[in-house]
């Protein structure tokens, strides 16, 4: 929608955005600092290819479509961290074990170390 079709005005301390027919598109709640959409509205971000610094409210959910799906990280060198772990790049592949107990133990310990590095397992 071209910007020229969007109007806005302050209403009771909130910034309300309207389409050209004066239907409410969204309201910036000035008290709670939230962007609020009308009940039943859908925020279509299908054309967005780069979403940086997303913010989620407590108890909020991240939902995606059932056809294309959503990637978290689009390259092996992009870093991720969970539960306050320092973000790291994608961990190295662990080749299949040769069947000996010693090699299986080594591979298992490597897997545990990688999960801890990502923050998916507690490190202590």
- Do residue 41 and residue 89 come from a single domain? no
Q: Which tokens go with 18? A: 């309207």
- Do residue 13 and residue 55 come from a single domain? yes
Domain extent, residue 104, equals 72-124
- Do residue 8 and residue 66 come from a single domain? yes
For residue 47, give every residue at least 6 positions away whose Cβ sits within 8 Å of its Cβ, in sequence order, or none.
none
- Do residue 37 and residue 90 come from a single domain? no
pLDDT 10s digit of each residue in the chain, 124 long? 445 688 888 999 889 988 888 888 888 888 888 888 888 777 766 666 665 555 666 666 667 778 877 778 888 898 888 888 888 998 889 999 898 999 999 999 999 999 999 888 988 7
Max CA separation in the chain (angstroms) = 72
- Do residue 43 and residue 81 come from a single domain? no
Query: What pTM, to 2 d.p., does this model score?
Result: 0.49
Number of domains in the chain: 2
- Do residue 65 and residue 76 come from a single domain? no
């Amino acid at each position: 929608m071209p910007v020229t079709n969007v109007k806005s005005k302050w209403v009771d301390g909130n910034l309300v955005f309207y389409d050209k027919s004066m239907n409410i598109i969204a309201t910036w709640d000035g008290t709670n600092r939230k962007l609020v959409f009308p009940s039943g509205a859908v925020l279509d971000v299908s054309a967005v290819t780069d979403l940086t610094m997303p913010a989620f409210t407590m108890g909020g959910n991240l939902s995606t479509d059932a056809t294309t799906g959503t990637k978290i990280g689009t390259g092996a060198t992009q870093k991720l961290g969970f539960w306050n772990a320092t973000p790291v790049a994608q961990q190295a592949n662990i080749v299949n074990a040769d069947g000996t107990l010693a090699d299986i133990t080594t591979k298992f310990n490597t897997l545990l170390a990688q999960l801890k590095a990502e923050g998916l397992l507690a490190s202590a």
